[in-house]
């Protein structure tokens, strides 16, 4: 028993000694690391660019799901995926044998109706003359006129039936509405398809798109949408084509917010100005929409800007003290702010509020909320309380 207690005491002493040695070895390194962190910055000239970043999917400006208007069986399908088609070229055709038979029948009916009309017209003209001479009764005259009117109606119905058959026959041949490329073609020759007026809006025979005009559909954060407007320039990069840079323009912004990936925002349509042939529908594009910029302006880090009740100021180093000085801010990005007045180039500003909460001017307060780093894809906004980076 005594031997066991002795072993435990020895092990405890060894453990305590090891922990003390490790802590003593680690503390100088950690202190040196903390001391390396700068607490001041110089006022210097730089270019400031603020842009809204987003992502979207590349797609064609015009894309059509091609479906027949009438039921039938695919008889001609000369295209495959990737084929390019000119406006007016045949996309596919349905078997029209039954409609051709019906067309012949309608034409025969029209000819018969026309002959019948000519006959009743001659009879009516004779009866009309006899009636004027008072050689026949009123009833005979009325019957003849009715037969003539019925023959006219029969001819009109036959002609209307012919036009309906011709219209259905014209819909068996589908042509390209614009210069396009075939994106999908899920059916084959001989497959029966239903018209667009039937079940499930008809059978999709193919999907075509105009790849000469491409767009990007993006989702703009609701906090940034007020900074975006139609006709605004957009810088574009495509993940699938490294190094490729393109330009676009904002065409329109949705009037109502939508939820995407649990983020509320507004859909925006971006038109590409010049399309690289390597860019294809479905690729992901990264967008940068320039909002504000300033060239060669005095600037300080956002952490050096403090705000109190709407007034902005900075702590400027003066010999051994820090002077609180009011400043005015212009363009900001995610790291720096333009100083339009209050500071001179080369002056040193503090990135932290003085520890005693006072400065040379004697009006400082401790920050209410700590560092206000940029977030949400936009520069932070000011609050009534004193804080850093209150841009």
pLDDT, the chain, mean: 82
CA–CA gap between residue 185 and residue 90 (Å, rounded): 14
CA–CA gap between residue 84 and residue 107 (Å, rounded): 39
CATH number of the domain that residue 114 is part of: 1.10.287.470
Instruction: Indicate the residue among 249, 264, 292 that finishes a domain.
Output: 292
Residues 157 and 112 in one domain: yes
User: What pLDDT, on a 0 to 100 scale, did the predictor assign at position 335?
Assistant: 85
Residues 162 and 235 in one domain: no
DSSP conformation letters of 128-180: HHHHHTT-S-HHHHHHHHHHHHHHHHHHHHHHHHHHHHHHHHHTTEEE-SSSE
Residues 160 and 284 in one domain: no
Residues 339 and 382 in one domain: yes
Q: Is pLDDT above 60 for 110? A: yes
Q: Is pLDDT above 70 for 222? A: yes
Residue 326: which residues within 8 A CB-CB, separation 6 or more? 311, 312, 313, 342
Average pLDDT over residues 62-74: 92
Q: Is pLDDT above 70 for 373? A: no
CA–CA gap between residue 118 and residue 112 (Å, rounded): 10
Residues 76 and 198 in one domain: yes
Q: Is pLDDT above 50 for 60? A: yes
Q: Is pLDDT above 90 for 20? A: no
Cβ-based neighbour number of residue 204 at 10 Å: 17
CB 222 within 8 A of CB 260: no
Q: Is pLDDT above 70 for 38? A: yes
Among 353, 229, 196, 374, CA closest to 302 = 374
Q: Sheet containing 90-94: which strands, arranged edge to edge?
A: 173-175, 90-94, 72-76, 192-193
User: What pLDDT, on a 0 to 100 scale, did the predictor assign at position 368?
Assistant: 34
pLDDT band of 379, cuts 50, 70, 90: very low
pLDDT band of 166, cuts 50, 70, 90: very high
Residue 26 covered by a domain:
no
In terms of pLDDT, which residue wins out, 147 or 335?
147
**What is the residue range of 158's domain?**
97-170
pTM above 0.75, yes or no: no
Residues 334 and 316 in one domain: yes
CATH number of the domain that residue 286 is part of: 2.40.30.170
Residues 257 and 300 in one domain: no
Residues 90 and 200 in one domain: yes
Q: Is pLDDT above 60 for 19? A: no
Q: What is the pLDDT of residues 246-270, one digit of tens each?
A: 999 999 999 999 998 888 999 999 9
Average pLDDT over residues 168-191: 93
pLDDT band of 234, cuts 50, 70, 90: very high
**Range among 88-92, 272-276, 277-281 rated most confident:** 88-92
Q: What is the pLDDT of residues 299-346, one digit of tens each?
A: 989 888 999 888 899 999 887 788 899 999 888 888 899 898 888 888
Q: Which two tokens stand for residue 369?
A: 């909320």
Q: How many domains does the chain have?
A: 4
User: What pLDDT, on a 0 to 100 scale, did the predictor assign at position 30?
Assistant: 47
CA–CA gap between residue 390 and residue 388 (Å, rounded): 5
Residue 116 covered by a domain:
yes
Average pLDDT over residues 128-155: 92
Report percent pLDDT > 90 for the chain. 50
Q: Is pLDDT above 90 for 112? A: yes
User: What pLDDT, on a 0 to 100 scale, did the predictor assign at position 238?
Assistant: 92
Q: Is pLDDT above 60 for 360? A: no
CA–CA gap between residue 210 and residue 59 (Å, rounded): 10
């Amino acid at each position: 028993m005594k031997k066991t207690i002795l072993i435990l005491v020895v092990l405890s002493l060894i453990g305590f000694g090891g922990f003390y040695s490790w802590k003593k070895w680690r503390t100088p390194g950690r202190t040196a690391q903390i001391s390396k962190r700068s607490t001041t910055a110089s006022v210097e000239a730089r270019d400031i660019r603020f842009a809204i970043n987003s992502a979207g999917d590349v797609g064609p400006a015009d894309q059509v799901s091609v479906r027949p208007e009438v039921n039938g069986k695919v008889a001609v399908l000369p295209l495959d995926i990737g084929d390019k088609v000119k406006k007016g070229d045949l996309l596919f055709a349905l078997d029209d044998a039954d409609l051709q038979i019906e067309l012949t029948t309608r034409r025969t009916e029209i000819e018969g109706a026309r002959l019948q009309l000519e006959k009743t017209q001659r009879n009516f003209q004779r009866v009309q003359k006899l009636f004027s001479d008072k050689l026949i009764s009123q009833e005979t005259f009325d019957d003849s006129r009715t037969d003539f009117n019925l023959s006219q109606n029969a001819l009109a119905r036959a002609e209307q039936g012919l036009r309906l058959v011709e219209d259905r026959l014209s819909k068996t041949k589908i042509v390209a509405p614009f210069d396009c490329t075939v994106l999908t073609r899920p059916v084959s020759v001989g497959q029966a398809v239903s018209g667009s007026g039937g079940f499930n809006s008809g059978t999709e025979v193919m999907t075509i798109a105009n790849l000469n005009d491409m767009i990007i559909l993006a989702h703009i954060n609701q906090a940034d949408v007020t900074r975006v407007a139609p006709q605004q320039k957009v810088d574009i990069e495509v993940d699938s084509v490294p190094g490729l840079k393109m330009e676009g323009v904002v065409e329109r912004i949705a009037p109502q917010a939508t939820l995407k990936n649990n983020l509320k925002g507004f859909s925006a349509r971006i038109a590409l100005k010049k399309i690289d042939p390597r860019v294809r529908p479905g690729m992901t594009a990264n967008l940068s929409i320039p909002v504000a910029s300033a060239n060669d302006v005095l600037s300080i880090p956002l952490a050096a800007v403090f705000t109190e009740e709407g007034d902005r100021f900075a702590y400027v180093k003066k010999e051994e003290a820090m002077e609180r000085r009011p400043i005015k801010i212009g363009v900001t990005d995610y790291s720096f702010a333009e100083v339009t007045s209050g500071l001179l180039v080369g002056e040193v500003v503090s990135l932290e509020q003085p520890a005693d909460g006072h400065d040379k001017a004697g009006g400082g307060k401790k920050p209410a909320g700590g560092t206000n780093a940029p977030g949400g894809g936009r520069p932070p906004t000011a609050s009534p309380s004193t804080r850093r980076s209150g841009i």
